[in-house]
Structure 1
Amino acid sequence: MKAIQFGAGNIGRGFIGALLSKAGYHVVFADVNKEVIDKINEDKKYTIHVMDVECEEVVVENISGVISINDEVLQEIKESDIITTAVGLVVLPRIAPTIAKGIQLRKEAGIKTPLNIIACENAIKASSQLKAEVEKCLNEEEKAYLEEFVGFPDCSVDRIVPPVKSENILDVVVEKFYEWNVEEKAFKGEIPAIEGMNLADNLMAYIERKLFTLNTGHAITAYIGNLKGYSTIDESIADEKIYNVVKNAMKESGMGLVEKHKLDQEAHFKYIDKIIGRFKNPYLKDDVSRVGREPLRKLSDSDRLIKPLMTAKGFDLDVDNLLLGVGAALHYKNEEDAQCVKLQELIKEKGIKCAVAEVANISDDELLERIEKAYEDVLAI
């Protein structure tokens, strides 16, 4: 069995690729980083360091690597049983033409073995987005082949894998917790048996539970932590004032989920406690700059700050702490982050209300005024 993992970064190696290898697949990592790919082909293994209350080391073997922009990746796609990605949402359109060419080769060769492609990105319906990009590169006959033999199950992924420098560039540090929920009905053919992959029939509830809880809380912790001069997530969440805002914001977003997806409130609040416990992990040393990067994306109306805010507000629920999180994000400054620089230029040029209206697609003037007030109020935390 062969799997291709597009993206040989920390998530690709420390999470998805490792699960595929454990399930018995030969995992081909496809990436543009020649140093990493050469090292994979040289060592044919790497080590995952699980850093938590109980630490362990997991050796991942049965792997190889290929440069994702070279033609040799097409043969790998032709021969693969499953394809996964962990490249970042903005990169999906760039790898779509390559995947499309691989699918064309499968059609030309008369291959009727189902292929499932799962985009494991921090986004809603990333696989569906990738499918749409792939279809742009196919003619009508090829699209028909894709519909019959190629599945694009959407998924939600959850594991904190911070960038940690080690002697071996392939080794990865991860937390013990992980969750990979995949849309069961979207698979083509027999569903692969992969330990750690949870098949879900109501995927949107899982996706939004993770987005509104881990991603929302993580981002707010990072933005307020940065504002108060902390450098890591565990330092930030140890501040009682930050902890209170973050937990209350997660409860506000959680109540929106309870109303929308009819979740069990008590069970969800226990899930919130578990997530905050992960933020406190002192072994990960997760930088606030990593978690807070790309604020324009994180302030968009489909992402971790605005979507839970609008969902909760839509049910007439309290959103005061979510607003403080948005206010903190608007203060975020990092000269090395192009989105951050652009956001601050936009605020300077247009002011808070107009900048947020543009970035977050908000037209409610009363809400914009509350965000403007939260931008000031968050400085007092």
Structure 2
Amino acid sequence: MKAVHFGAGNIGRGFIGHMLSASDYDVCFVARNPKKISLLQKRQEYPITLANNEQDTTIVNNVTAINVNEQHRVAEEIASADLITTAVGVSALGDIAEPIAKGIYLRMKANNYNPLHIIACENAIGGSTRLKKRIYPFLDEPTRAKAERYISFPNAAVDRIVPAQNHEDPLQVTVEPFYEWVVHRPALLDGFKEIEGVHYVDSLEPYIERKMFTVNTGHCVAAYFGYLAGLKTIRQVMSNTALRAKVRHVMEETGAMLIRKHGFNAETHQKYIDTILGRFANPNLTDQVTRVARSPLRKLSPHDRLVRPAMQASEFGIEIPHLTSAMAAAMLFDDKRDEEAMKLQHFIHEDGLSPFIRERMGIPEEHVLHQHIITCYEELQEHKVPKVLT
């Protein structure tokens, strides 16, 4: 069995590639980094280390790599693959759509009608559906019709913290012990080989929203509050009693919405929050505040981890003072090394707070959250102290 995985970064190697290899897939990474591609081709294996006290290390084998710019080779790999996965970042899905489309065209032209599943393992709701919408405009109508029969795009939720890191071995990657990969079972075609360790569910939305609005919301909130406090790592944020309590309160507010919407057991969800907070505080992981906080425009967009749960909570009549404060904190993220942070500050400076909240966050002026965010922003700005983060 062969899997083609787009993205040989830390998530690709440390999570998705590892699980595919453990399920007896031969994994071909499609990547951009020439050094990593060369090493993967030469060694056909790499080590991953768990961020636990024992520093357990596993060798991932049966792997290779090709350059994404070698589109004909990429297409040939896809034409004979049993599975395609991605971990490139949701904003980069459009960049890989054409190479995948060329592979699908070759596959259908060769009359390879074995089922093919394309799973986007990204921090986004409906990632695979988004990828499909990017791919299909590159296909002609006959190929598209065949693809509808023999190719499926199951949506998925993935969860594993893999911070930025440097090792003497460029292929080595350190990951937290916890992981979760959930796939929408009804989208699977007959003949699919299940991946060991993946949880297949009939209804994916509860799992995606639980993960997005607990893990992703909590992680970025820790970063934005930590940035304003002048802290450098997420672990430092979690060691600060007051900030840790703020992060917990945000997760409890999103949790109240999730419990109301999806019927989660309140006690079970509270334990889930406790687990996530423990993961953030892992003493064996060092994750930079500025890394977790990056791309604030995306994270403040209407359908992402801050605004979406806030609007849903508001619909249920749930008070969210801490999540509102967190959105304001995100609007104050001004790390000069982050392009989106600079754009964010430019938009606010040029257009003003209210237009930004209305146009960029999708919250109308008449909505109760709109003025609350402005109030929180002004309060946080008043107490903000210039900081130098290195």
2:212 counterpart residue number: 211
Report the CA distance between 1:54 and its aligned residue: 4.4
**C-alpha distance in 2, partners of 1:107/1:238?**
55
1:40 counterpart residue number: 40
Letter in 1 for 2:315: G
**C-alpha distance in 2, partners of 1:246/1:278?**
13
Residues 119-145 of structure 1 show CA distances to partners (whole Å, capped at 9, x for unaligned) of 000000010011111111112211111
1:324 counterpart residue number: 325
Residues 1:53 and 1:353: Cα distance change in structure 2 (over 3 Å): farther
**C-alpha distance in 1, partners of 2:159/2:106?**
33
**C-alpha distance in 2, partners of 1:3/1:58?**
20
1:163 counterpart residue number: 164
1:87 counterpart residue number: 88
1:302 counterpart residue number: 303
1:238 counterpart residue number: 239
Q: Give 1:357-376 correspondences, 5 Å limit.
A: 357-365=358-366, 366-376=368-378
Pairing 1:110–2:111 present: yes
Pairing 1:356–2:362 present: no
1:360 partner SS: coil
2:67 counterpart residue number: 67
Residues 195-222 of structure 1 show CA distances to partners (whole Å, capped at 9, x for unaligned) of 1111011101000000110001001100
Residues 261-303 of structure 1 show CA distances to partners (whole Å, capped at 9, x for unaligned) of 1111111111011000101002110111111000000000111
1:210 partner SS: helix
Structure 2 unaligned regions, length at least 5: 385-390
Report the CA distance between 1:351 and its aligned residue: 2.2
Residues 61-98 of structure 1 show CA distances to partners (whole Å, capped at 9, x for unaligned) of 11010011202111111111000000011111111111
Report the CA distance between 1:347 and its aligned residue: 1.2
Residues 1:54 and 1:377: Cα distance change in structure 2 (over 3 Å): farther
Report the CA distance between 1:354 and its aligned residue: 1.7
Letter in 1 for 2:370: L
Q: Over aligned residues, Cα RMSD in angstroms?
A: 1.2
Query: Are the aligned partners of 2:157 and 2:181 in contact in 1 as well (CA < 8 Å)?
Result: yes
**C-alpha distance in 1, partners of 2:358/2:283?**
37
Residues 1:308 and 1:42: Cα distance change in structure 2 (over 3 Å): same
- Aligned-pair identity in percent equals 42
**C-alpha distance in 1, partners of 2:315/2:223?**
26
2:23 counterpart residue number: 23
1:193 counterpart residue number: 194
**C-alpha distance in 2, partners of 1:23/1:197?**
10
Report the CA distance between 1:53 and its aligned residue: 4.2
Pairing 1:96–2:97 present: yes
**C-alpha distance in 1, partners of 2:134/2:212?**
23
Number of aligned residues? 381
Query: Are the aligned partners of 1:353 and 1:371 in contact in 2 as well (CA < 8 Å)?
Result: no
Letter in 2 for 1:345: H
TM-score (norm 2): 0.96
2:158 partner SS: strand
Report the CA distance between 1:193 and its aligned residue: 2.3
